[in-house]
Amino acid sequence: MISVAAQMVIQGIVLAGIFLTALYALLQKDLLASALMLAAMSLLMSLEFYLLQAPDVAIAEAAVGAGVSTLVLVLGIRKTGRWEE
């Protein structure tokens, strides 16, 4: 069992990571990079869910966010255009 303070620190880092990846994904002009950033956000999110004692949701978020939806977005980008004008 990790101490409360350590858990706070870990959570702080993960949450900051979630926010920064989301911000980067939305500011980025390159759609492919944003899709990958969203995948990173999903992974961090699933870590956060795990820390908040929701392992079910963590598995689902990892599989959906990092797997399926990234792939869907990448497919969509391949069919359209990579750059946001």
Partner 1 sequence: MTRTFSRIVETVADFFLIFIIVFGIYIITHGHLTPGGGFQGGVVLAAGILLLLVAHGFSFARKIPEELLSDLEAIGGIAFILLASLGFGQSFFYNILWHEKLAFAEQVGRFFSGGAIPLMNLSVGLKVVAGITSGMFALSLFGGEES
Partner 2 sequence: MMVYLTAFALIMLGIAGMLFRRNLLKIIMALSVADSGAYLLLIAIGYRSGGTAPILTGYEGGPMVDPLPQALVLTAIVIGVCVLIMAVSLVVNVYRHYGTLDVSELRRLRG
Chain contacts with partner 1 (rule: CB under 8 A) = 55-56, 58-60, 63-64, 67-68, 71-72, 75-76, 78-79
Indicate whether 36 belongs to the interface with partner 2 (CB under 8 A).
Answer: no
Give the list of residues 6+ apart from residue 6 with CB closer than 8 angstroms, or none: none
Query: Which of 18, 33, 47, 66 is close enough to bind partner 2 by CB under 8 A?
Result: 18
Helix, strand, coil % in the chain, rounded to nearest 5: 80, 0, 15
In whole angstroms, how close is the CB of 43 to partner 2 at the nearest point?
12
Helix axes 31-51, 4-27, angle to 10 degrees: 160
Indicate whether 20 belongs to the interface with partner 2 (CB under 8 A).
Answer: no
Indicate whether 43 belongs to the interface with partner 2 (CB under 8 A).
Answer: no
